[in-house]
């Protein structure tokens, strides 16, 4: 809910949170960027050119064919060549990072203006022009707008909220390397994202210049992995790893793949949703060299599932990269069954397996994003049985303080006894599953009084 607030009230929210930090240079990278301007691929049915041919696109996927991005470009970037708009370098260089730039595209509410009236936010503002095209002209309560445009609510810290809610600092072996689970590590390769999510669990780090992709730091982290033979799984995250250059990613992945005991490498990214232009044939050629390579994609709302996102996911999937989704449950954004089901269905069509539905981490200032756990369980109950099993993610809480992910399920067991278990299905009907009474653990057969197998 967006209530008008006077300037004195706004000032009281933010006066103790002033900061002079700026978002870092998007190329905190030792490698020079590619000088070429790369367009989206043309291999899939959902190439960006479909936006200029809406009628033909509607025959392929009616729900995704709208003119938002096309209209946005005509209004704010008239005459800009397709090659420029479709260049991920151009998108990064023209990110919306200031209140002045933001107000060019949006009529800011008092709650949004209040953030910038006295300070620069703790988590920087950063939105790609592409992603801005999806929320241009929206009201302050628009789902995508709420995820990336800061408000004064970020300065309310509720009981139980922490800057490091998952206790990652306590499991950090060296800068940017978190070793919480015995057989896997989290390597934060960069602190930069093309677009910053306002509910980010690492808002204490990202966009603050605290994590740079320097070779010296990464070499030390890779040496730790090499010298710890129990590690079989390495997750690259940040920040967003895919904002690094192809050459830097090639070097990182190559160095990790040289380690014999590392079985799989995973990459966590929101690029297909906020910067699909980054997924180029050149990038895919790098990634496919290092199989088995998995990718976890962060999608939040069905409106992110655009033709450009479809194209990016198709390129990754065609390269043999298994894709899974990690969606955060967010109040007023995707916390109803219809929205969540639509998102899961879109991701399935993009060849992205719904993997985790996260309860929003209690990071400081996240209270306006967090739902009750009961709401999350209600959504899972509304999905299970009502759609494909593949489309139902695992609902988890990443336990505060470093306890790891704990799965949650609605209670489908009504009662149990030696005779059997009474279960409730998705239609709220009761069924009894019989226990094998009198049947020893070794199995039932004619030698223990049973006449034979059915």
193 assigned binding-site residue: yes
200 assigned binding-site residue: yes
**In sequence order, what DSSP letters do the residues of 174-194 get, joined into one string?**
ETTEEEEETTEEEEE--S--S
Of 73, 120, 145, 184, the active-site residue reads 184
Of 181, 224, 412, 426, the active-site residue reads 181
197 assigned binding-site residue: yes
Q: Is 361 part of the annotated catalytic residue set?
A: yes
Give the bridge partners for 407, in sequence order.
Answer: 396
Q: Is 29 part of the annotated catalytic residue set?
A: no
Of 39, 57, 65, 193, the active-site residue reads 193
CB within 8 Å of 201: residues ≥ 6 apart:
165, 166, 361, 363, 398
**DSSP strand pairing (430-434 vs 420-424):** antiparallel
Of 104, 285, 289, 405, the active-site residue reads 405
Of 39, 65, 197, 313, the active-site residue reads 197
Of 11, 84, 180, 226, the active-site residue reads 180
Q: Is 84 part of the annotated catalytic residue set?
A: no
Of 202, 204, 248, 341, the active-site residue reads 202
Q: Answer whether 186's CB lies under 8 Å from 266's CB.
A: no
Q: Is 197 part of the annotated catalytic residue set?
A: yes
Q: Is 184 part of the annotated catalytic residue set?
A: yes
Q: Is 202 part of the annotated catalytic residue set?
A: yes
Q: Is 233 part of the annotated catalytic residue set?
A: no
CA angle, residues 391, 394, 396, in degrees to nearest 5? 150
Among 443, 48, 25, 42, CA closest to 275? 48
Q: Is 193 part of the annotated catalytic residue set?
A: yes
Among 444, 450, 419, CA closest to 433? 419
Joined together, the tokens standing for residue 451 give: 């006449």
Of 200, 305, 313, 360, the active-site residue reads 200
Q: Is 405 part of the annotated catalytic residue set?
A: yes
Of 95, 361, 370, 381, the active-site residue reads 361
Among 454, 446, 414, CA closest to 433? 414
CB-based burial, 204-221: b 16+ in 10 Å, e otherwise:
bbbbbebbbbeeebbeeb
Residue ranges of the annotated binding site for [4Fe-4S] cluster are 193, 197, 200
Give me the active site residues, please: 180-181, 184, 193, 197, 200, 202, 361, 398, 405
Which residues sit in the known binding site?
193, 197, 200
């Amino acid at each position: 809910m967006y209530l008008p607030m006077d300037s004195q009230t706004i000032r009281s929210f933010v006066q103790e949170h002033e900061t002079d930090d700026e978002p870092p240079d998007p190329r905190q990278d030792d490698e020079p960027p590619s000088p070429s301007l790369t367009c989206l691929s043309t291999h899939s049915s959902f190439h960006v050119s479909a936006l200029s041919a809406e009628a033909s696109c509607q025959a392929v996927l009616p729900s995704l064919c709208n003119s938002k991005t096309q209209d946005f470009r005509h209004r704010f970037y008239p005459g800009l060549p397709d090659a420029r708009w479709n260049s991920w370098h151009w998108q990064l260089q023209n990110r919306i990072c200031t209140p002045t730039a933001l107000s060019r595209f949006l009529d800011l509410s008092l709650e949004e203006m209040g953030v910038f009236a006295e300070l620069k936010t703790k988590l920087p503002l950063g939105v790609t022009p592409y992603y801005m095209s999806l929320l241009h002209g929206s009201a302050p309560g628009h789902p995508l707008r709420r995820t990336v445009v800061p408000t004064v609510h970020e300065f309310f810290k509720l009981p139980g909220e922490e800057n490091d809610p998952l206790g990652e600092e306590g499991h950090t072996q060296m800068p940017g390397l978190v070793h919480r689970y015995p057989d896997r590590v989290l390597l934060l390769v960069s602190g930069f994202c093309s677009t910053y999510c306002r509910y980010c669990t690492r808002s204490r780090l990202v966009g603050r210049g605290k994590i740079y992709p320097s070779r010296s730091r990464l070499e030390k982290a890779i040496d730790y992995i090499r010298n710890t033979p129990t590690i079989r799984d390495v997750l690259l995250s940040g920040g967003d790893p895919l904002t690094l250059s192809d050459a830097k990613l090639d070097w990182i992945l190559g160095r990790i793949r040289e380690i014999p005991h590392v079985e799989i490498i995973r990459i966590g990214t929101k690029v297909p949703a906020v910067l699909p232009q980054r997924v180029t044939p050149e990038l895919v050629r790098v990634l496919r060299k290092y199989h088995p390579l998995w990718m976890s994609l962060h999608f939040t709302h069905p409106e992110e599932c655009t033709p450009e996102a479809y194209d990016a996911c198709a390129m990754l999937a065609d390269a043999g990269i298994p894709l899974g989704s990690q969606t955060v449950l967010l109040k007023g954004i995707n916390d109803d069954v219809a929205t969540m089901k639509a998102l899961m269905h879109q991701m399935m069509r993009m060849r992205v397996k719904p993997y985790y539905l996260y309860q929003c981490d209690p990071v400081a200032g996240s209270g306006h994003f967090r739902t009750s756990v009961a709401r999350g369980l209600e959504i899972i109950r509304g999905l299970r049985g009502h759609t494909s099993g593949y489309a139902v993610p695992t609902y988890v809480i990443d336990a505060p303080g470093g306890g790891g992910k704990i799965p949650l399920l609605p209670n489908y067991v009504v009662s149990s006894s030696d005779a059997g278990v009474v279960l409730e299905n998705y239609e709220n009907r009761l069924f009894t599953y019989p226990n094998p009474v009198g049947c020893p653990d070794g199995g039932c057969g004619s030698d223990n009084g049973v006449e034979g197998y059915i």
